[in-house]
Amino acid sequence: MKKINNQKGFTLIELLIVIALLGALAVGLLAAVDPFEQLKKGRDTSTRNTAAEFYGASIRYYAQRSRFAWDETTTPLATGTVTSLNNLTEAISLMADAGELKEDFVELAGTGNLSRISLYYETSQKLVVCFQPESKSFRNDANTKYNQFGVVQPTSVCPDPNSTSCYYCFK
């Protein structure tokens, strides 16, 4: 008598080979996408938008009142100083009351973003709002060429990805 083997399907070895190939492709794709870099880029984009919004609101506030909002607070900023936006909650409230910023600007931006943004105020003619990018794409951006005072750095310093003195600025 003849024994007929009618089993259909894949062997264990074939399945293991396919799984190993799919795993290798997934690792290659993950390395190409670099999720941590994407997170940094997203954080930088959010910070850039917050800094641009604050800069624009400050300029509009000054255009209407001939003074900046922090000049009207109980603790005005000294000229020639650098401060974090976290320290300007009273000025942010004044700009929100004037309609230049959203009422919930601080909540929308988040204290993490506000702490990453610095403001340099020299005179009424010089306002610089900067942040230090984390992602490679922002560090290599043409606008990441300033120090925290808004002064253009030499090309030997920026856009060196290891430099800690290059800022993305609005001025």
Sign of CA dihedral 134, 142, 114, 76: positive
Note the pLDDT of residue 100.
Answer: 92
Check residue 4 and give its pLDDT.
Answer: 64
Q: What is the pTM (predicted TM-score) of this model?
A: 0.78
Q: Please state, in angstroms and rounded to a whole number, the distance separating the CA atoms of residues 78 and 81.
A: 6
Structure tokens of 158? 């920026």
Q: Where are the domains of the chain?
A: 39-170
Distances (CA, A) of 86 to 71, 75, 93, 102, 119: 16, 14, 12, 16, 10
What pLDDT score was predicted for residue 124? 63
**pLDDT for residue 160 is more than 80:** no
